[in-house]
Structure 1
Amino acid sequence: MHSDHNESPFNAIPPVTTALVLLMAGIEIAFSLGARGILGGPGAVGWRIGGIETYGYLGEITYWMAESGRWPAEHLLRFLSYPFVHGSFTMGLFACVMLLALGKIVGEAMGPVRMLAVFVASSVLGALVYGLIVPNVPLYGAFPAIYGLIGAFTYLLWTKLGEMGEAQIRAFTLIGVLLGLQLVFGLLFGGGPYWIAEIAGFVVGFAATIVLVPGGFARLVERLRER
């Protein structure tokens, strides 16, 4: 059997997904090395907290911008920067692994540009919904965007199961398991209201995929009419 030993093991991963993961991992490595005093000197110990304060999303800031009519770029950037700042190394590592897996699946199915569109839309709208409900608790971490990719994956699987004539409810197994685990961990260890942004991200990702997939909306209307 012929094997190309020069073939890169990363060829199957869409470049956009790779870039997102590398950026996320690079920031997390810098935070972790700074906290251990390996990088950046004594002041680096507070990089993570400073990163959350500077690049995390806060609903109160959006309220202030809407009321004042001022939209500073550094605050608008928070809608896109908060997914790359995590509260711990473990949280960042888990986010990188999930983004790598889901980004590969969704990117291959929809194309890298559409996958990136789902990531961005889920991040922005997930933050907006969160900020409206919880304006005074900072939002950080990639999970609203990752849940958006789960929403995209769910819609793609839902469509595939429908074409195969199988029970489409199975497409929601992944989100059901994740929400169940989240509930258990929340009860055992406590947790914040971040699930609001994550659920919003899932809904946005699911809805955005209907529009972004070629013929997706027309196919959905046709299936609804059949019912």
Structure 2
Amino acid sequence: MNNQPHNRPINPVPPYIMALFLVLIGIEAVLSLADRGIIGGPLAVGWRMSLLEKYAFSPRVFWWMIENRVFPAEHMIRFVSYAFIHGTFTHALFGGVFVLALGKMVGERFGALATISVFFMATVIGAITYGVFVGGEQLLFGAYPGAYGLIGGFTYLLWLRMGEMGEAQIRAFSLIGMLLGVQLLFAVLFSGPKDWVADIGGFAAGFLMSFVVSPGGWAKILNKLRQRSD
């Protein structure tokens, strides 16, 4: 028998993360082709704008639902659907790459259900954060709040590891600090949209949710609660 070790590729991306990535890029591919008139005919040029108007998160619609205490499904879906529509191919590509890279790292530790839950909960919380603190007429769209939720999960893993190694756990937040610093700089210099507010909400949701959905996370919380009650 050949006892030589086999060269194996790097751990593959979990299939559910790859599926999420393909959906994001697939929708954008169709819209990009339509923008260029390659598919759909002349009317296809307006597909992106039509989808944004119908499925992007709208702070105006958000406050209308709250004020009137009416929550129709056609508007509630916006809390999730906005993540699958982007402004340009580059916008979608970077969002997809974030999801692919962070989803792989978090998914290998959290598992399928927990990882997907973090992504979608961060997407919802990111939208709510944007609606509450930004408001106005500017639509929110793109996978970034959900991706930042995965960054929150990754930060949680680093935070745990540094605690086990006796290192300063604040260092686990260096990645999110750098990313938000760059976003704030661009927002100040170019007066861009304030979608970074949604990203902060998504990150916070992902980090805090990791305490519950990570393997053994809920048990750790219960143990700490029992220790305090004793």
Residue of structure 1 in register with 2:169 after alignment: 168
Residue of structure 2 in register with 1:149 after alignment: 150
Q: Is 1:110–2:110 an aligned residue pair?
A: yes
Q: Which runs of 4+ in 1 moved over 6 A?
A: none
Map residues 120-159 of structure 1 onto 2, 5 A cutoff.
120-136=120-136, 137-159=138-160
Please, which runs of 5 or more residues in structure 2 have no aligned partner?
A: none
**How far, CA to CA, are the matches of 1:127 and 1:109 in structure 2?**
26
- What is the deviation of 1:3? 4.3
Map residues 185-224 of structure 1 onto 2, 5 A cutoff.
185-216=186-217, 219=220
* Bigger Cα displacement from structure 2, 56-65 vs 29-38: 56-65
- What is the deviation of 1:84? 0.7
Instruction: Give the TM-score normalised by structure 2.
Output: 0.88
Map residues 77-116 of structure 1 onto 2, 5 A cutoff.
77-116=77-116
Residue of structure 2 in register with 1:180 after alignment: 181
Counterpart contact for 2:56–2:140, Cα < 8 Å:
yes
Counterpart contact for 2:184–2:196, Cα < 8 Å:
no
**How far, CA to CA, are the matches of 2:28 and 2:47 in structure 1?**
10
Residue of structure 2 in register with 1:25 after alignment: 25
Please, which runs of 5 or more residues in structure 1 have no aligned partner?
A: none
- The superposition leaves residues 121-156 of structure 1 with CA deviations (integer Å, 9 ceiling, x where unpaired) of 101111112112223221101111111111111111
- What is the deviation of 1:219? 4.3
- The superposition leaves residues 154-179 of structure 1 with CA deviations (integer Å, 9 ceiling, x where unpaired) of 11110011011122111011001101
* Paired amino acid for 1:143: Y
**How far, CA to CA, are the matches of 2:115 and 2:53 in structure 1?**
28
- What is the deviation of 1:200? 0.7
* Paired amino acid for 1:106: V
- The superposition leaves residues 37-59 of structure 1 with CA deviations (integer Å, 9 ceiling, x where unpaired) of 11111111112111111110012
- What is the deviation of 1:62? 2.2
Provide the aligned length of Structure 1 versus Structure 2.
220
**How far, CA to CA, are the matches of 1:38 and 1:2 in structure 2?**
49
**How far, CA to CA, are the matches of 2:123 and 2:162 in structure 1?**
28
Q: Is 1:41–2:48 an aligned residue pair?
A: no
- The superposition leaves residues 82-107 of structure 1 with CA deviations (integer Å, 9 ceiling, x where unpaired) of 01111111110100111100010111
- What is the deviation of 1:74? 1.5
Residue of structure 1 in register with 2:69 after alignment: 69
**How far, CA to CA, are the matches of 1:180 and 1:132 in structure 2?**
22
- The superposition leaves residues 8-37 of structure 1 with CA deviations (integer Å, 9 ceiling, x where unpaired) of x79721121111101000011011100111
- The superposition leaves residues 192-213 of structure 1 with CA deviations (integer Å, 9 ceiling, x where unpaired) of 1111111011111110001112
Percentage of identical aligned residues: 51
* Paired amino acid for 2:196: W
Instruction: Give the TM-score normalised by structure 1.
Output: 0.89
